[in-house]
Structure 1
Amino acid sequence: MSPLVEEGAESGIAADPRVSAAAFSDDVLDLGANSELIEITPEQAVVVRVKEHKKPELIPLADVQETIVNALKNSRAREQLASRAEQMVTTLQSGTALNVLADEQKLDVVESPATSRNMPGVPAQLLQEAFKMPHPGNSVAYRSVTLANGDYAVVGLSAIYPGEAVANAEQLKGLGQFIAAGNGRIMFDEYLASLKERGKVQILLDNQ
């Protein structure tokens, strides 16, 4: 992760608050250590290491005035989008048909039948939210979702289909290695934490 700035990044994996928190933790930022394994999605995990840390510095107001104004405008726009998305969810939950509401709001409806967790062409944020939603039963469940570019979308979940068992031996082997690696990391971290709590550290300095 390079370079590192105090306000944090707002795109890609760095948009995940756990990644930013790990990057600015004492072990990673001050000691130069690798972070713990962070699971972004069931198929994607990252380890953070800081290459460069740029500390904050004072900048003349005239140099950043335009940036501040644009940031305030963008913040206000995001608030309006979030409010609009939540209003749409409320309207849909009250019984208004999705196609009817989309026509009124001049928005596009994209259907994705039998969507998997790693469906190509579908924003990751939509997939993550959809797979966290409860079973809709005989109706349709709706949620608003913030996309990576700051836009908002409304996802509707109409059905959940059981997944297929992994039958491929190579896939099973890879899955087992992934789980074993994660468990090994957890056990090592717990062991290291116990050593820090119980151990006594002495630092010997060579004055020669």
Structure 2
Amino acid sequence: MAETTGTATPAEVAEHSEDGVRRRDFINIAAVGAAGVGGVATLLPLISQMAPSADVLAESSTEVDISAIEPGQAIKAVFRKQPLFIKRLTRSEIEAANAIEADSLRDPESLGDRTKEGHEDVLVTMGVCTHLGCVPLGAAEGEIKGEFGGYFCPCHGSHYDTAGRIRKGPAPTNLEVPEYEFTSDTVIRVG
């Protein structure tokens, strides 16, 4: 009968440690994989609930047919639950807006900065005064247009010119021009 000394041969030690590393690697990979799956399972509902709902996505853009707007007329539309003014400028309104040096204005922008190339006669602005959010007058026929022939905010007396630029009153900036594009000569997509 052979006596055991409790020591293993070098070959047995190498085989045992090799198996131990493999088991340890598998356990580490399994643990990291389980943590990753758990993290994704936790974060996915949190991230997806921050996505806009269907009604918000439906209002993310608005198409407006401007073919019926005559020079000098404006229409009101709704974009993201806020009023949108679309005005077809007359030749004299364009000339009056271009006659003003943009650098002399509180919020310096030229008419060309506020309209699309090739469609300088179509002005698209949000119908929200930049002072405290009232809806200015001047988009509908017969409304007060203010001292500069554009828009007038009755809440605190801001006057905008024909290009929707602030000229007098407490409003700090021009009427906002939203992102828009012409999808044809008579249809614009806002948003």
TM-score category of the 2 structures, normalised to the smaller one: under 0.3
Q: Determine which structure has the larger helix proportion and give its number.
A: 1
Larger of the two Rg values belongs to structure: 2
Higher relative contact order (CA 8 A, sep 6+): 2
Q: TM-score, normalised by structure 2?
A: 0.24
Q: Determine which structure has the larger strand proportion and give its number.
A: 2
